[in-house]
Amino acid sequence: MRKQLVSSVVMIGFLLMAGSSLLAAAASGSQILAKIPFSFVVKDKVLPAGQYTITKIHVESAPALVFRSADGKGQIVVQMLTSEANRPSPDTRLVFHRYGDDYYLSDVRTLGNSTGLRLATSAGEERLTKVTAQVDRSIVTVAGIGR
């Protein structure tokens, strides 16, 4: 019980901190709108298909993304890693790894930027990569619109 209470207090603090950063991020125009036609996994949490607003924030000087579904059924804040490309991205897109019917968020690229954001591989995806011969695996991209 005490451990749950401490976890709840830490999460509330994190969300309050993220909320103030979110306002600053929204003002600077670092949001992406995307219609994701399938349920997908972000850090072992399944989010439903739908329209999402994805906002970039910084938490403890590391980039993070806030995913919010338009219907309020899906929301998560996730820390990201940066990744460099050889040239700027020609569009804004979300990249997913597909294993059969399961989609795992992998990367987020924004128009004109050579620095992207990538998600560390989750435990669930790690398990699936070990059985790739038995599962249909591919990369799927979803277009986003920067705001």
> Which pLDDT value is given to residue 25?
38
> Which tokens belong to 25?
């991020």
Let me know: does 100 contact 135? Beta carbons within 8 Å.
Answer: yes
> Which pLDDT value is given to residue 145?
86
> Which pLDDT value is given to residue 73?
84
List, in sequence order, every beta strand (DSSP E) within the chain.
Answer: 31-36, 40-42, 45-47, 50-59, 62-69, 75-79, 81-84, 93-99, 102-109, 115-118, 137-143, 145-146
> Which tokens belong to 14?
């994190």
| pLDDT tens, residue by residue, 92-127 | 999 999 988 899 999 999 999 999 999 998 888 888
- Nearest one of 95, 56, 103 to 79, comparing CA atoms: 56
140 pLDDT higher than 60: yes
Provide the number of structural domains found in the chain.
1
> Which pLDDT value is given to residue 17?
44
Where does the pLDDT of residue 133 fall: very low under 50, low under 70, confident under 90, or very high at 90 and above? low
| pLDDT tens, residue by residue, 4-14 | 433 433 343 44
Where does the pLDDT of residue 18 fall: very low under 50, low under 70, confident under 90, or very high at 90 and above? very low
| pLDDT tens, residue by residue, 35-71 | 999 999 998 899 999 999 999 998 777 899 999 999 9
Let me know: does 117 contact 82? Beta carbons within 8 Å.
Answer: yes
| Helix or strand holding residue 17 (H, E) | helix 2-28
> Which pLDDT value is given to residue 111?
93
Residue 144 half-sphere exposure toward CB, CA atoms < 13 A = 25
Let me know: does 102 contact 96? Beta carbons within 8 Å.
Answer: no
Give the domain extent around 53: 2-146
> Which pLDDT value is given to residue 139?
86
| pLDDT > 70 in the chain, percent | 77
